[in-house]
């Protein structure tokens, strides 16, 4: 299991290296088929609308935080984890499977028009965005000191149950020599043991070694 920080562009190069080192013949990804199709069909249109609204905000003299802007586009665009996994599988011949739930993805993406509305962008992009730094700080607390500074939500529970079941079915059907599951780092804690049957080795890709 490789834990990532979603939306971190710097994570792609690190994930590339981890995948080459692990050399899996099957990769599963915390990403839904709905999310893929939505971004492929509407991503460019949403990006253009967002850029038009941002141009208006700049013309009005509104401040735009670049980190917040990067975070916005990382949500609109295809995730870097998908790019890394796709490129690796194309090079190696490994199989890639998207295993997250469409239901939650659909509910979250249904709000995109509101997210990129001008007045929402004025608030969203007008403050310093430090989510990546916050995520790294929480991850360090968890991996280095065993301090859990985040909640394991009902949504995470439902998704982990769904993803682990799907991974199990895929593994039984295809019997991979080595399987890698790429997910947000918080899923590595697995407090209910959904992934325990796989006896996974776990890595936070920002570290140099297996960490959990």
* Ordered mean pLDDT values, 10 residues apiece, the chain (212 residues): 91 95 97 97 96 95 89 93 98 98 95 94 81 83 85 95 98 95 96 96 83 56
Q: Give the pLDDT score at 140.
A: 82
Q: Give the pLDDT score at 137.
A: 86
Q: Give the pLDDT score at 212.
A: 54
> What is the domain partition of the chain in residue ranges?
2-204
User: For 23-153, where are the alpha helices, taking DSSP H only?
Assistant: 33-59, 66-76, 80-92, 102-109, 112-115, 118-124, 131-145
Q: Give the pLDDT score at 141.
A: 87
Cα–Cα distance, 154 to 59 (Å, whole number): 42
Q: Give the pLDDT score at 128.
A: 66
Q: Give the pLDDT score at 129.
A: 67
Q: What is the pTM of this model?
A: 0.92
């Amino acid at each position: 299991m490789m834990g990532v920080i979603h939306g971190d562009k710097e994570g792609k190069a690190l994930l590339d290296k981890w995948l080459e080192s692990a050399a899996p013949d099957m990769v599963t990804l915390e990403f839904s088929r709905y999310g893929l199709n939505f971004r492929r069909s509407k991503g460019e249109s949403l990006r253009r609308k967002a850029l038009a609204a941002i141009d208006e905000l700049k013309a009005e003299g509104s401040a735009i935080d670049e980190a917040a802007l990067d975070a916005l586009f990382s949500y609109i665009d295809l995730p870097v984890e998908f790019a890394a996994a796709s490129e690796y599988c194309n090079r190696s011949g490994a199989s890639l499977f998207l295993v997250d739930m469409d239901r939650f993805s659909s509910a979250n993406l249904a709000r995109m028009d509101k997210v990129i509305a001008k007045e929402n962008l004025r608030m969203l992009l007008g403050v310093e965005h430090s989510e990546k730094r916050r995520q790294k700080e929480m991850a360090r607390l968890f991996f280095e000191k065993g301090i859990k500074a985040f909640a394991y939500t009902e949504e995470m529970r439902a998704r982990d149950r769904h993803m682990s079941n799907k991974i199990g079915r895929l593994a039984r059907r295809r019997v991979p020599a080595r399987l890698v599951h790429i997910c947000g780092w918080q899923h590595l804690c697995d407090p209910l043991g959904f992934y325990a049957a796989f006896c996974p080795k776990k890595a936070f890709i920002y570290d140099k070694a297996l960490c959990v």
